[in-house]
Amino acid sequence: MAPVEMRAPTEPVLSTLNEDGTRRWLEPRMTFGRFRARRKAVAYGLIAIFCGIPFVKIGGLPAILLDIPGRKFTFFGSTFLATDTLLLMLLALSIVLGVFFLTALFGRVWCGWGCPQTVYMEFVFRPLGRWIEGGGKNVERGSVRPSAGRRTLKFSAYLAVCGFLAHVFLGYFVGIEQLTGWMSGSPKDHWSSFMLVAFVTAAMMFDFAYFREQTCLVACPYGRLQSVLLDRSSLIVGYDTGRGEPRGKGKRTAVLALGDCVDCNKCVATCPTGIDIRDGLQMECIHCTQCIDACDTVMDKMGKPRGLIRYSSKDELAGKGRHFLRPRTLIYPTLLLVVFTLFITALVTRSSTDLMVFRARGAPYEKLADGRTMNRLRVQIVNRDTVSHTYQISIAPIEGLSLRGPTTTEPLDPGESTELALSLTFPKQAVDGSGEREIEIEVESDVGETVTGGFTLLAPRRSERTP
Ligand code: SF4
Ligand code: SF4
């Protein structure tokens, strides 16, 4: 077989890839401006919320607690259990539709303003690194390499921040009391949680110290979906080709009819994903607005109006109007309204007790020596309330039907469940000729709330019975 000829790509494949396939390390130049100031305020607000939520209690419960071993998820006063399949599905669907709708309207505003990757990278790790290494244009260009001491200090600082964030992150899964208890004890008393924090710290170090913008470029699935989620009227960060081209550094004269772009490359130098916005809308663009601030500074110096790079839409940049009402801005919110209404309805009407009745494994019925029939069943009760309860199990009165086994539960804490093994015995007259009868199992809590579950009594059919 003839050897396969390997050809070099004719254009850049990825902004972080050199022609020889090695990583192109980016050190975006710091830019100040109105958007950076606003993003900074939003970023620090989000960081404060992330670090503060584990300390917030609502109705005695943590504001957010993701108890994975207990399969119990608490969100702002509501506890969801793994058995809340419908509720969790409606909630997940609402989130997906909400993301679709917001993206259709505001493009990648989440990526640029709210995503933890951007928030921590641009407003914690990069500023911290610049501060320790000295920053400056030469460091950003890579022509000056910071000393080994500064680099060690930088990575030590990164490690400390990652360790702190990993502890806060764990607080969402175990609660702040448990976390502070573990932190004040020895790691050998809780190896698994210690290893978990170590793993999350290492994962964050890998991301923020090494992988960095690659997360947005090659790992984030949301970025890959942009081509289908955006349309020509969605908000984007765009370069006004009509105003900027032909670009050039020379002095603008009547003979040299250049556009407003002076080809200073400042928009490229500040881009955290290393792209040139003047090449058009690109999947790598996280709409962080740093190029807007960089270009506005240049325009200010030139006495030209700001906005050569600005928030816009593809249609606006092409000289057409921007339409708010489009099929996707009508369909997504309509679906979102329907799904979210269903979610809220299901949430407020759900009982604070969950009951499931199962037939026990083995034979569907047993014949007893006294001629009666026995069915075995399992009753599972889940306390969804925010306080403890005990429960009493009973059956509708049917002549000869009796319930055996533990019919009162121990106190169940919020979110706790129990399963009871019970049996029902009944005479043959209790069922009809088909050998079946539907009955109801009733569970009453100590505050009088009742829930019922159906169960089918099974016995031999009349044709199978012995006289
Ligand atoms: S910053 Fe503005 S003027 Fe400078 S290269 Fe970019 S678009 Fe052109
Ligand atoms: S092109 Fe501009 S908006 Fe897009 S990622 Fe780069 S700096 Fe941010």
pLDDT in tens, 23-78: 888 889 989 999 999 999 999 999 999 999 999 988 777 899 888 877 778 888 77
339 lines ligand 1 (CB under 6 A): no
Q: What is the pLDDT of residue 467?
A: 55
pLDDT of 137 over the 90 cut: no
- Residue identifier of the C-alpha nearest atom 3 of ligand 1: 261
| Range 273-288 average pLDDT | 92
Q: What is the pLDDT of residue 465?
A: 61
pLDDT of 4 over the 70 cut: no
Q: At 3, is the pLDDT very low, low, confident or very high (cuts 50, 70, 90)?
A: low
Q: How many CA atoms lie within 13 A of 118 on its CB side?
A: 27
Q: What is the pLDDT of residue 162?
A: 97
User: CA separation (Å) from 99 to 110, 114, 309?
Assistant: 9, 13, 25
The answer to whether the beta carbons of residues 223 and 216 sit under 8 Å apart is yes
Expressed in angstroms and rounded, the spacing between residue 277 Cα and the centre of ligand 2 is 6
- Residue identifier of the C-alpha nearest atom 6 of ligand 1: 267
Which ligand approaches the C-alpha of residue 31 most closely?
Answer: 2
| Range 188-204 average pLDDT | 90
pLDDT of 155 over the 90 cut: yes
| Range 94-102 average pLDDT | 92
DSSP conformational letter for 406: -
- Model confidence pLDDT, tens digit, residues 337-378: 999 999 999 888 888 888 999 999 888 899 999 989 999 999
269 lines ligand 2 (CB under 6 A): no
Which CATH number applies to 353-464: 3.40.630.10, 2.60.40.790, 2.60.120.560, 2.60.40.10? 2.60.40.10
* Domain residue limits, the chain: 25-350, 353-464
**Rounded-to-integer distance, Cα 271 and Cα 269, Å:** 6
Q: What is the pLDDT of residue 119?
A: 97
- Residue identifier of the C-alpha nearest atom 7 of ligand 1: 261
pLDDT of 415 over the 80 cut: no
Q: What is the pLDDT of residue 387?
A: 83
What mean pLDDT, rounded, does the chain reach?
88
Looking up tokens 């121990």 gives 410
Which ligand approaches the C-alpha of residue 304 most closely?
Answer: 1
Paired strand residues for 426: 373
- Residue identifier of the C-alpha nearest atom 8 of ligand 1: 261
**Rounded-to-integer distance, Cα 170 and Cα 188, Å:** 17
Q: What is the pLDDT of residue 141?
A: 61
User: CA separation (Å) from 70 to 99, 175, 433?
Assistant: 29, 13, 45
Expressed in angstroms and rounded, the spacing between residue 31 Cα and the centre of ligand 1 is 13
3-state secondary structure of 46: helix
Q: What is the pLDDT of residue 376?
A: 96
267 lines ligand 1 (CB under 6 A): yes
Expressed in angstroms and rounded, the spacing between residue 287 Cα and the centre of ligand 2 is 5
Q: At 319, is the pLDDT very low, low, confident or very high (cuts 50, 70, 90)?
A: confident
* 366 phi/psi in degrees, rounded to 5: -130, 140
Q: List the structure tokens of 171.
A: 């607080």
